[in-house]
Amino acid sequence: MELYKLTAHELLEKLAKKDIASEEALLAIHKRIEETEPKVKAYVRLNKPGELKDNNELNKPSSFLKGIPVSIKDNICTEGYNTECCSKILEGFKPPYDATVIKKLKEAGAVILDKKTNMDEFAFGSSTENSFFGPTHNPWDLERVPGGSSGGSAAAVAADEAVWALGSDTGGSIRQPAAFCGVVGLKPTYGRVSRYGLIAFASSLDQIGPLTKDVRDCAILMNIIAGGDSYDSTSVDITLADYTKALVNDIKGIRMGIPKEYFIEGLDPEVKSIVEEAIGKLKSLGAVSQEVSLPHTEYAVPVYYIIATAEASSNLARFDGVQYGLRIKEGNIIDMYKKTRDEGFGQEAKRRIILGTFALSHGYYDAYYLRALKVRTLIKQDFDRVFNDFDCIVTPTSPTAAFKIGEKVDDPLKMYLSDIYTISANLAGIPAISIPCGFTKKGLPVGLQILAKPFAEETLFRVAYAYEQNTEWHKMKPKL
């Protein structure tokens, strides 16, 4: 069995038994990347030689992860190693510090892979087509998108070019690519994982999370990266559970709410029936289900696109050529700002910055931004009400399976609507996981999304694990 096909927990077992040495896992991944990258293009800036120093973790057999490599999305800061958010405006940026999650991974003995994964520029997108480096190709059908914005991470995991990976999720950017690529993707509760070192898109919505081959790997990775951080005022110091303890194959009596607003026109009929079958499977395992209502669902996408773009327009104001990244040396300082930002930002970034600036501008703030904040309250209240009586909510992750590269890129509104099922979890700050639950007739993966109340990741792991252990989807691999 080729090493690159193994999950992290399988590698850990072999390492513990000393069946393999640390270097072998890393070498296997590197070789797989070499073979597969020309097709998938999950990683960026590959022509640059690895800039990381020799990682000492390989020589620390006593560390927990014993040198297993982790792949990192290009918007998470890694000290001394390029972090560019796949944007021209950040070309060449080498952060002088590690993100907190990177520090934690290093402390646990992981090797941070010397190649960053592809993403939509600044996480603006649902297909990874907005990357300055060009799109990543879905390993299940190379003419299709892997989803976005963490498309590179999801594709790498699906193609076994990564053991496991970190992505970020602001409106579905971990879960939707996980669904499109047939892997597991978790967006933690807002505040569960430190955002220090995550290049911000929307500060009140962003979270870093794992993309993995199975649920156990997801729990292991969450154990390492979760926890309060004194450098992040919005992170929470709630006692950390051992998420692997939630991996019990038993969901008898778990109460699932199925929101009627998610099963309407726009949901692809094939996806609908696959998800309904999955829900049926969960019931056969002992869970009970009931239809629920999240009445303000129809407002989620507009609310998101006001709040997220407003915060993004603010977070991206700092990219001006003064301290880092691209600088167009022309004219006076205002020219420098304007030309640098025009040249450095892609179309979607500009669109969002302008939309967000508009929503915050004098005269429009009340009608747009303030109103969106109020409707956000209504959306959160919908979830609070349901979680009073239900342990989790189950939905499709995405209304369709992966679409073709180029299909939606010229219609931003159409692209935004593909986030319809994932966005609400970010607005409500609740945890959500996507797990593979089947394939369309064309052989494209379909994702099942499970949501729980704040800090109830254990519920997600429990339900996801039970489903996974009673199905075979997670064992299937794309033909590459």
Partner 1 sequence: MNYEPVIGLEVHVHLKTKTKAFCGCSTEFGQEPNSQACPVCLGFPGSLPVLNKVVLDYAIKVGLALNCKVQEFTKFDRKHYYYPDLPKNYQISQYDLPISKDGFLDIYLEAGVKRICIKRAHLEEDAGKLIHEDAITLVDFNRTGIPLLEIVSEPDINSPQEAYEYLTSLKSILEYLDVSDCDMEKGSLRCDANISIRPEGTSGLGVKAELKNMNSFKGVRDALAYEIERQIELVNSGETIVQETRLWDAKELRTFSMRTKEEAKDYRYFPEPDLPPFIIKSEKIEKIRRTIPELPREKMLRFIKDYGISEYDAKILVSNKNNADYAEERFKAWQDKNKKPVVNWLIGPLAAIASSSNIEISEVKISTSNFLELIEFVEKKQVISNLTGKIVLEKMAKTGKSPYCIIQEENLAQVSDETILNKDIEEVIKENPKSVEAFKAGKENAIMFLVGQVMKKSQGKANPKVVQDILKRRLIDA
Partner 2 sequence: MAITKETVEYVAHLARIELKPQELEKMSRQLKDILDFIDILKRAEVKDIAPTSHILPISNVLREDTPVASLAAEKVLMNTPCQKRNFFVVPKVIE
Catalytic residues: 73, 149, 173
Q: Is 440 in the site for partner 1 (CB under 8 A)?
A: no
Given 60, 61, 142, 204, the residue binding partner 1 (CB under 8 A): 204
The option from partner 2, partner 1, none interacting with 279 (CB < 5 to 8 A, set by class) reads none
| CB nearer to partner 1: pick between 325 and 447 | 325
Q: What is the DSSP letter of 198?
A: B
Greatest Cα pair distance, the chain, in angstroms, is 69
Part in contact with partner 2 (CB under 8 A); list of ranges 67-75, 260-268, 303-311, 388-396: 303-311
Instruction: State the alpha helices, DSSP H only, in 159-299.
Output: 175-181, 215-225, 269-284
Q: What is the DSSP letter of 193?
A: B
Q: Is 325 in the site for partner 2 (CB under 8 A)?
A: yes
The amino acid occupying position 274 is I
Residue ranges in 77-116 that form contacts with partner 1 under rule CB under 8 A: 77, 83, 85, 90, 93, 95-97, 99
Is the alpha carbon torsion for 367, 370, 373, 379 positive or negative? negative
Q: Is 329 in the site for partner 2 (CB under 8 A)?
A: yes
| CB nearer to partner 2: pick between 381 and 471 | 381
Q: Is 133 in the site for partner 2 (CB under 8 A)?
A: no
State how far the alpha carbon of 7 is from the alpha carbons of 121, 124, 213, 312, in Å.
Answer: 29, 29, 6, 35
Say if residue 318 is exposed, middle or buried (CB neighbours under 10 Å; 0-12, 13-18, 19+): exposed
Decide the pairing of beta strands 43-44 and 432-439. unpaired
Q: Is 264 in the site for partner 2 (CB under 8 A)?
A: no
Q: Is 351 in the site for partner 2 (CB under 8 A)?
A: yes
CB atoms within 10 A of CB 56: 12
Residue ranges in 404-423 that form contacts with partner 2 under rule CB under 8 A: 412-413, 416
Let me know the angle formed at the C-alpha of 444 by 469 and 285, rounded to the nearest 5 degrees. 25
The helix-helix angle for 100-107 and 215-225 (nearest 10°) equals: 110
The helix-helix angle for 22-40 and 8-16 (nearest 10°) equals: 160
The option from partner 2, partner 1, none interacting with 266 (CB < 5 to 8 A, set by class) reads none
Instruction: State the alpha helices, DSSP H only, in 41-191.
Output: 100-107, 151-158, 175-181
Contacts with partner 1, 335-374, as mask; x by CB under 8 A? --x-------------------x--xxx--x---x-----
The helix-helix angle for 300-315 and 371-389 (nearest 10°) equals: 120
| CB nearer to partner 2: pick between 268 and 343 | 343
81 in Cβ contact with 48 (< 8 Å): no
Residue ranges in 352-391 that form contacts with partner 2 under rule CB under 8 A: 353-355, 357-358, 361, 368, 370-378, 380
The amino acid occupying position 110 is A
Part in contact with partner 2 (CB under 8 A); list of ranges 62-70, 143-151, 279-287, 344-352: 344-352
Part in contact with partner 1 (CB under 8 A); list of ranges 51-59, 311-319, 420-428, 464-472: 311-319
How many chain residues interact with partner 2 (CB under 8 A)? 69
Q: Is 432 in the site for partner 2 (CB under 8 A)?
A: no
Minimum distance from residue 108 beta carbon to partner 1 (Å): 20
Alpha-carbon gap, residue 446 to 276, rounded angstroms: 12
80 in Cβ contact with 90 (< 8 Å): no
| CB nearer to partner 2: pick between 56 and 230 | 230
Decide the pairing of beta strands 255-259 and 288-292. parallel
| Positions in the binding site for partner 1 (CB under 8 A) | 76-77, 83, 85, 90, 93, 95-97, 99, 195-200, 202-204, 230-234, 310-311, 314, 317-320, 322-324, 333-334, 337, 357, 360-362, 365, 369
| Positions in the binding site for partner 2 (CB under 8 A) | 92-94, 96-97, 190-191, 204, 230, 233-234, 236, 296, 298-299, 301-303, 305-306, 313, 317, 320-327, 329, 331-339, 341-342, 345, 350-351, 353-355, 357-358, 361, 368, 370-378, 380, 412-413, 416, 427-429, 454
